[in-house]
Amino acid sequence: MNQVATSATAPPREPAPAAAGPAKGVPTPARMTTARQRRLQLIQPTDVTRGIAAGVVDAWRQNPLAVVAVTLLVLGGLIFPLVVWPVGLLIWLAGVGIATPLKQWSPVDKLLSLGGPLVLVIAGTAIAVSIGGTRQNAAAYGHEALAEAADLFKVGALLGALYLAWRIQRGRRGPAEPPWARRRP
C-alpha cells in the first residue's frame, strides 16, 4: 500500500545563506509590491485634501477675516483676465480693502503681496513689450501690453494671495532685532 514518510525522518531544510535569494537590501518582487502598497497606504489623495481642509478650518477659526481676504484675492486674480474683468478687479480690491487694516500680517507682508502684483504688471509689461519686437502702430503695442498685463496680474495676484495664506499658517512676524543688539558668533 502507500507508505508515507513521517516528518520525524526528514526535518525541513533551511536554505543556505548564500542561496537564500538576492543580496540583502535588494528587494524581491513580493517585497517591492508590499513596499509600494505601504507607500500608497501612507499617502492618499484624500489625506492630502483632508489636511488642506483642516488647515483652512483651523485658520478660519483663528482669523476669519484673513481667510476671507485671501479668498477674495484668489477669486479676484482668477476672474480678472476674463471678459468680466471689472468684477474681478472689484473682488480683488475688496480683498485688498479687507487685508490692509488687519494686524495678522506685517506691513512688509502686505506690501509684498498686495503691491507686488502691481509692480509685476508694470515691470513685466514693459519688459514683454520691449522684447516683443517692432509693431506697425501704437495700437498693436497697446494690445500686446494689455494681453501681457492681464496674465501678469493674474500670476501676481495668485502668488500674493498664496504668500498671505502661507503667512497665516506661519503667524505674525516678531519685531526685527536691531543689528547692534544681535549676537555675533
92-151, pLDDT tens digit by residue?
A: 899 999 999 988 888 888 898 888 888 998 998 888 888 877 777 888 888 888 888 888
Q: How far apart are CA 156 and CA 121, in angstroms?
A: 8
Q: Helix, strand, coil shares of the chain as percentages rounded to 5?
A: 70, 0, 30
Given pLDDT bands bounded at 50, 70 and 90, which one contains residue 55? confident
CA distances from 84 to 42, 77, 91, 96, 173 (A): 43, 12, 11, 19, 37
Burial label, 164 (beta-carbon count in 10 A; 0-12, 13-18, 19+):
buried
SS3 54: helix
> 183 lies in a domain?
no
Given pLDDT bands bounded at 50, 70 and 90, which one contains residue 60? confident
**pLDDT at 10 > cutoff 90:** no
> 76 lies in a domain?
yes
Please tell me which residue, 20 or 73, carries the higher pLDDT value. Answer: 73
> 185 lies in a domain?
no
Q: How far apart are CA 49 and CA 46, in angstroms?
A: 5
Given pLDDT bands bounded at 50, 70 and 90, which one contains residue 27? low
> 134 lies in a domain?
yes
Q: What is the pLDDT of residue 98?
A: 92
Question: What is the average pLDDT score of the chain?
Answer: 77
Q: Which DSSP letter does residue 156 get?
A: H
User: In residues, how long is the chain?
Assistant: 185
> 35 lies in a domain?
no
Given pLDDT bands bounded at 50, 70 and 90, which one contains residue 88? confident
Domain of 121 in residue numbering reads as: 47-170
> 78 lies in a domain?
yes
Domain count for the chain? 1
Q: How far apart are CA 17 and CA 23, in angstroms?
A: 10
C-alpha cell at 99: 487685508
Q: Which DSSP letter does residue 163 get?
A: H
